[in-house]
Structure 1
Amino acid sequence: MKLCCLLYFCLLAPSVCLAQLSDENLLQSFPQGYKVDFQTKKGNMVMTEMVPQAETVDNWTEMITTQIFLGMKNATPEQFQAFMSKAWLTACKDGGVAPIAKGEENGYPFSIWVQDCPLNPATGKPEKTWFKAIKGNDSFYVVQKAFKFEPSREQVVQWMQYFRSIVVCDTRLADRPCPELEKVGQ
């Protein structure tokens, strides 16, 4: 939990955060042009929401949500995907869910999928959200990228590259190494 809190802090001040990674870590870069607009910790869940500089979590067209479920060790990416898909399809009757990729990265199981709602009844706008779920040994990690419009092909490619860069590492395990860091977020 110590490092999750450190990475949580690094999201607040990425240009000044000096870090030495320890234990299990979610490695996620801070997207250029984004700001942290909301953070919370409820029970075992730590959540950060980032939006473009000119937007807020109350009025957004694009959003990145990161959730760390501290100590959650038994859930699989497939179980989380099934849970989220069922909730999505209940909320959006004409919605869809499509798997993108699954497998193992740096020794950790992951799954990426997209959920689409042509007209979200809660907002009256279309919504498309990509998810990446990673099962760590210590915690469970989920990163979401949502659009309230149909993203361009270039945007999809950009954000899929971003998702590929998100990994979990562990300084305690030689086969799941963490990089040496001088500054986080630069």
Structure 2
Amino acid sequence: MGWGNGRSLGEISMRCVILGLLALVLPTLAVAQGGEQLLVPVPQGYVLAHSAAGPDGALQEYIPSAETLGAWSQMMTVRDFPALAGADPAAFHGNLIQSLTAACPTAQYAEVTATVERGAPVHIVLAGCPVSPVTGGEEWFLSKAIGGQTALYNVQGAWRGPATRELVEGWTILLRDVVLCDPARAEMPCPAP
């Protein structure tokens, strides 16, 4: 799977996203494809560090305001893939894990859940590299993929360092609030403005 932007596969796999463990998660990002809207709570204190859009989809990377893309401790990544509309989120994660294990021979991963939320298939995995070939350190991410009708959506919370209970629980809570809505579909109502 090509990730573009001239970044190595290992770098992309580990940078996938970092959602914050901050207690107040007030702002919400809405990524729209057609009538669908991906509602993503942006952790307080995080700023948009990088964004790109093209025919293959859109990418936004958020990091704590005092950090840089070259030196981050946590990151939230939001992506949409219009070409994967209707695709199985578990298959998407299968490809992601395959890329991760190719880049990091010591990679570890576990399926967290496979379910349906608001009429859309959802798959969540926890994955990491105990010794990243890019940074030499430990990197982990929790990834939520949602199969929409107009795109496949992926939100990841990533961090550098061990997968502590606090980090995993914090990102799990944040990803729980990532939802797909569509005003044209009764099972996916969008919140009132």
Shorter-chain TM-score range: 0.7 to 0.9
Structure number with larger C-alpha Rg:
1
Q: Any idea what SS the aligned residue of 2:168 has?
A: helix
Report matched runs for 1:69-108 at 5 Å. Answer: 69-108=81-120
Q: Out of 70, 75, 97, which is 1:58 matched to? A: 70
Cα RMSD (Å): 1.7
Match of 2:142 in 1: 130
Once residues 153 and 173 of structure 2 are traced to their aligned partners in structure 1, the CA distance between those partners, rounded to angstroms, is 18
Q: Which amino acid aligns with 1:102?
A: A
Q: Which amino acid aligns with 1:95?
A: A
Task: Write out per-residue CA displacement over residues 30-64 of structure 1, whole angstroms, 9 at most, x where no aligned residue.
Answer: 21111100000132310000001111112111111
Deviation beyond 6 Å, 4+ runs, structure 1: none
Match of 2:188 in 1: 176
Q: Any idea what SS the aligned residue of 2:174 has?
A: helix
Q: Matched residue pairs, number? A: 163
Structure 1 unaligned runs (5+)? 1-13, 182-186
Q: Which amino acid aligns with 1:41?
A: A
Q: Which amino acid aligns with 2:183?
A: T
Deviation, 1:69, is 1.3
Structure 2 unaligned runs (5+)? 1-25
Report matched runs for 1:123-162 at 5 Å. Answer: 123-162=135-174
TM-score by length of 2: 0.80
Once residues 149 and 110 of structure 1 are traced to their aligned partners in structure 2, the CA distance between those partners, rounded to angstroms, is 26
Identity in percent: 32
Q: Which amino acid aligns with 2:133?
A: P
Once residues 132 and 147 of structure 1 are traced to their aligned partners in structure 2, the CA distance between those partners, rounded to angstroms, is 15
